[in-house]
Amino acid sequence: MSEYVISPQKQAEIPVKGSDKAFPVRRVYCIGRNYVAHVEEMGGSADRDPPLFFQKPADAVVSSGSIIPYPGKTKDFHYEVELVMALGSGGSNIPESEALDHVWGYAVGLDMTRRDIQGGGFPWEIAKAFDRSFPVGPITPVSETGKIEKGKIKLKVNGETQQDSDVSLLIWRMPEIISRLSEYFELCPGDVILTGTPSGVGPVVPGDKLVATFEGLEPLEVSIN
């Protein structure tokens, strides 16, 4: 290890359920347009286009219980509830048949979005990859959940259900996401992958309380300030 000329920033991490240990985050990958009803609400067609991948920085992670300041440069700050896979191992060109063997655990998260500056043919950086744009609940190890292929995913805002779907409705299923993503990037331990949001996305305002749930996982609760 080199001696650094300034202090390195803290390693991004996600708490692990039932443990005082944490999962160290290397990269945060996301897939867009991955539930038919959400593609349609965004004005797209539900044809099976190639998967749309993008990233958030690792330090965009926000843990459950946090208060998120309403970000600048938007008047349309949106939630997107998503199931999150956390990888314990990786590789390149991973076959679908082996893909889920790389999953260390699962969590429920939010792909927070500046909706009013997404699109227009520009890179998604400032719409998707900004500070505190990835609230995520504690990770539950796959040893406890088993490989997840279905399950209810929900988001409530101020107690009212806004998103309510099932991950069995993913267009690109989780083994396909890992396999396709590993054709573009070498996946590594510590990478986490958001699997896309169902329909019902919408705006939040200061004072809102968000509760994201996936059956069998720890909930995620955050407030907007």
Q: Which residues of the shown chain bind Mn ion in the complex (CB under 5 A)? A: 80, 111, 197
* Closer residue to Mn ion (CB): 111 or 191: 111
| Choice between 197 and 213, CB closer to Mn ion | 197
Comparison of 179 and 197: residue with beta carbon closer to Mn ion = 197
| Least Cβ distance, residue 10 to Mn ion (angstroms) | 26
- Residue 5 beta carbon to Mn ion: minimum distance, rounded to whole angstroms: 37
**Distance of closest approach, residue 82 Cβ to Mn ion, in angstroms:** 6
CA distance 110 to 173: 18
Our CB check for Mn ion shows the closer of 16 and 85 to be: 85
Q: Closer to Mn ion by CB, 163 or 197: give it.
A: 197
Residue whose CB is nearest to Mn ion in the complex, by number: 111
Query: Measured between alpha carbons, how far is 147 from 221 in angstroms, rounded to an integer?
Result: 24
Q: In terms of CB distance, is 23 or 35 closer to Mn ion? A: 35
Q: CA 56 → CA 82, 113, 125, 161, 165, distances in Å?
A: 14, 11, 8, 26, 24
Question: Shortest distance, CB of residue 110 to Mn ion, whole angstroms?
Answer: 9
Residue 103 to residue 192: CA distance in whole angstroms: 9
CB 195 within 8 A of CB 177: yes
Write out the two tokens for 95.
């076959």
The C-alpha torsion from 29 through 34 and 37 to 43, rounded to 10°, is 80
What tokens appear for 156 in the block?
Answer: 């409530």
Terminal CA-CA length for the chain = 40
Q: In angstroms, what is the minimal distance from the CB of 162 to Mn ion?
A: 14
Dihedral sign computed on CA atoms, order 150, 21, 113, 161: positive
